[in-house]
Amino acid sequence: MKPYLLSAFLLASSAAAGGAGQPWMPVAPATPVSAPAPSLGAPLTVTVPVLPMGQAVAAPVMPQVTAPVGQVSAAERLAITAPTGTSVTLNQTVSNMQLQIENLQATGELRAMLEEDGTTLSEMQNELNAMLADPEFSQLLATQTSEMTVTVGQRLPGGGVELINSTEVELPTGEGDKTETYTLNIIQTVEPSGAVGKVRIESDNEMLAGMFAGLDSSTLNQVGGGAESGAIYEVPLVAGSVITKTTELDFKQFLSGLMGGALSSMPGMEGAEDLDPAAVQAIIDEIEAEPMRQTATTTYRGKNAQGMHVFDVHSVLQPWKMTLDLSGLEGMEDLGKLVISMNVMDNDSSIESIYRPDGLPSSLMQSTSMRLGLSVMTDAGDASAVLNIKLASTLK
pLDDT for the residue 378: 93
pLDDT for the residue 173: 74
Give me the phi and psi of 372, to 5 degrees please.
-120, 120
Domains contained in the chain, number: 1
What does each C-alpha distance from 147 to 87, 127, 150 come to in angstroms?
13, 36, 10
Q: Which of 290, 395, 294, 303 is nearest to 356 (CA)?
A: 303
pLDDT tens-digit profile, the chain (396 residues): 343 334 334 433 443 333 333 333 333 333 333 333 333 333 333 333 333 333 333 333 333 344 444 344 446 999 999 999 999 999 988 777 888 999 999 999 999 988 988 889 999 999 999 988 877 665 555 456 678 899 999 999 999 999 999 988 888 777 778 888 889 898 999 999 998 888 888 988 888 888 888 777 777 777 766 544 568 999 999 999 999 988 888 888 888 777 776 666 655 445 445 567 777 778 888 889 888 898 999 999 999 999 999 999 999 999 999 999 988 777 777 888 999 999 999 899 999 999 999 999 999 999 999 999 999 999 999 999 999 998 888 889
Residue ranges making up the domain that contains 266 = 2-395
pLDDT for the residue 211: 81
Q: How far apart are CA 38 and CA 94, in angstroms?
A: 20
For 296-320, the DSSP string reads EEEEEEEE-TTS-EEEEEEEEEPPE
pLDDT for the residue 29: 33
Cis amide linkage into residue 29, ω under 30° from 0: yes
Q: How far apart are CA 260 and CA 40, in angstroms?
A: 12
pLDDT for the residue 281: 77
Q: How far apart are CA 120 and CA 22, in angstroms?
A: 34
- Which residues neighbour 357 within 8 Å (Cβ) at sequence distance 6 or greater? 81, 307, 308, 309
Q: How far apart are CA 100 and CA 125, in angstroms?
A: 9
- Which residues neighbour 362 within 8 Å (Cβ) at sequence distance 6 or greater? 88, 308, 354, 355, 356, 396
Global pTM? 0.75
- Helix, strand, or coil (residue 258): helix
Distance of CA 106 to the CA centre of its chain: 29
Which one-letter DSSP state was computed for residue 32? P
